[in-house]
Amino acid sequence: MKKVRPYPQAVISQKAARALKAGHPWVFEGEVKAILPSPADGREGVNGDMVDLVEENGTWQGAGLVSMASKIRVRLVSRNANDRFDEGFWHRRLQWAWQHRKVTMGARALPGCEPDTNCCRVVFSEADGLPGLIVDRYEDVLVAQVGTVGMERLKGTLLPLLVHVLREDGQEIRGVYERNDSPARAKDGLPLQKGWFDLSGTDLSLPTPESARVMVRENGIAFDLDVENSQKTGFFLDQKYNRRAVRQIAGGRRVLDCFCHVGPFGLNAAAGGAGFVRCVDVSQTAIDLARENARINRLDANMGFTCANVLEYLPQLAHDRQLLRDEGGPFDLIVLDPPAFTKSRGTVQHAIKGYREINEAAMHLLPRGGYLATCSCSHFMTRDLLARAISEAAHAANVQLKQVEERQQAPDHPILWGVPETHYLDFFIFQVV
């Protein structure tokens, strides 16, 4: 590089440089050999700073945000040496993120229903060039998760800018709620916190909303969400089109929705004309919310709700025919949407066993010609590992599977090639033959 840049420099190893050239945006703690002062003014790098990434021979590889307490020491933001990280730069990034949602989801709404962009992930961290920031939209409320010290320092710029970007496009936003209560923040030395982001002092002059409850619609179905206390940011938006796929095959079927959370798969099945839907979750709070959502949508007449541990519940149904009838069975469509069984490489083998067991239990319950919708939401449980677990389950259950569909997360959670961490959801629909 011939230009003298104003940023401190992180000197990185050859291994890190190769990874960056291959497209991965992370530099790990052991790959940073030194952090040097800015060559322009001698300014020392501090936690959360933008730093240039340079090899020992001086070759520039990009610029990113440094996290002194994290094993992921630098997260790449730009590979363009002409970028200047001012308000205009971040405004463009946010515009590109919103434009992607409009292009990939703007024309896919069900007839007579709300636009699919009314509830969607607007910012997906590295996949949108904003590492450490996640923002979900729920109608007129944004819910933000800030996971890195760099984004913590920038959020005062980014969150008001995002509201501006949406308002410039005619989207009404009344507030931004921060769900910074994930334990992952501790990896960056950040405190846990949640509450409304103060927009009253910005040029937006928005008052703080009184309630964190939001009535939203997805696929034409209403959900009463509590963005303050629900899991993640309030809802699992990544399954939007997978729920629609289940809805399309649910007509006239008796459906068992396992790990139902607040009922989105079950409600989509009911809206698709299912003869009966049983929703099951280990959380009584989730079951109560699912029941209320069914009532709101006037779908409760053909739905039932059970608080139970699915891992125990499915074998019980297989061995107790009276219980199966009491629960609304026999079922000819079963949905398995479990939480991530693994969050590290070290527990993948245990997770494979778990996925194999629940899928085998579901297959024992299904008749020939029945349907199974099953998925995994952990990037450590790769597509091939999940497929292997399902195949082994089918062998153990002595059934053959006819694949109907193979799907992934919705496009508002874009998969960035070269960054396997952004591909975390795999979803299959099979017919048992």
Q: What is the token pair recorded at 24?
A: 């991965």
Residue with tokens 């997906």: 124
Angle at 100 between CA 107 and CA 426, to 5 degrees: 85
DSSP one-letter string for 171-208: ----EEEEEE--GGGGGGTPPPEEEE---TTSTT-PPP
Please list, in sequence order, all residues whose beta carbon lies within 8 angstroms of the beta carbon of residue 354, skipping any fewer than 6 positions away.
Answer: 311, 338, 341
Please list, in sequence order, all residues whose beta carbon lies within 8 angstroms of the beta carbon of residue 161, skipping any fewer than 6 positions away.
Answer: 87, 90, 91, 94
Give backbone dihedrals phi and psi of 275, rounded to 5 degrees, phi first.
-70, -35
Nearest to 53 by CA among 5, 125, 2: 5
From the candidates 119, 258, 375, 377, give the one annotated as an active-site residue. 377
307 is catalytic: no
Cα–Cα dist 234/236, whole Å: 7
390 C-beta neighbours (distance < 10 Å), count: 23
Are the beta carbons of 371 and 430 closer than 8 angstroms? yes
Could you list the active site residues?
A: 377
